[in-house]
Amino acid sequence: MDDKVDRALALVGEAQALLREVVRERREAARDDRREVNKATADEVALRVRQMAELEGMAPDTALVVLAHRAGMDHKTLERWRSGESKPRVGNVERVNKALAEAGVDPVKL
């Protein structure tokens, strides 16, 4: 009986250790998504917006709104990146890259 209890406790301990490791990895991944990128990346996004505007025959401001909508973001966020008020975060740039790819524009390098 004691062997079974000892084995069960050992398994529970292993499961808890694995769970802690998974939680730590997910926290690190989330931290990476929230990490800010530099101003040059924001400038690259602005350049891609202009390219998208030319490809789709629309005004740059309209292209910015369309891109933000496709990325599931508020267009004011992209405007703040362009003006330098805020820096983009990795997760948001990845969403913009996906929307750019849908529009046929090269993605921004991270």
Is the pTM higher than 0.75? The answer reads no
Q: CA-CA distance, 57 to 31, in Å (whole number)?
A: 38
Checking if the pLDDT of 72 tops 90, the result is: yes
Q: Which residue has the tokens 């292993």?
A: 14
Q: What is the pLDDT of residue 33?
A: 59
* Three-state DSSP class for residue 84: coil
Asked if residue 30 has pLDDT above 80, the reply is: no
Cα diameter, the chain: 77
Q: What class, spelled out in words, does domain 39-103 have in CATH?
A: mainly alpha
Report residue 89's pLDDT band, with 50, 70 and 90 as the boundaries: confident
Residue 84 has pLDDT above 90, yes or no: no
Predicted local distance difference test score (pLDDT) of residue 65 = 93
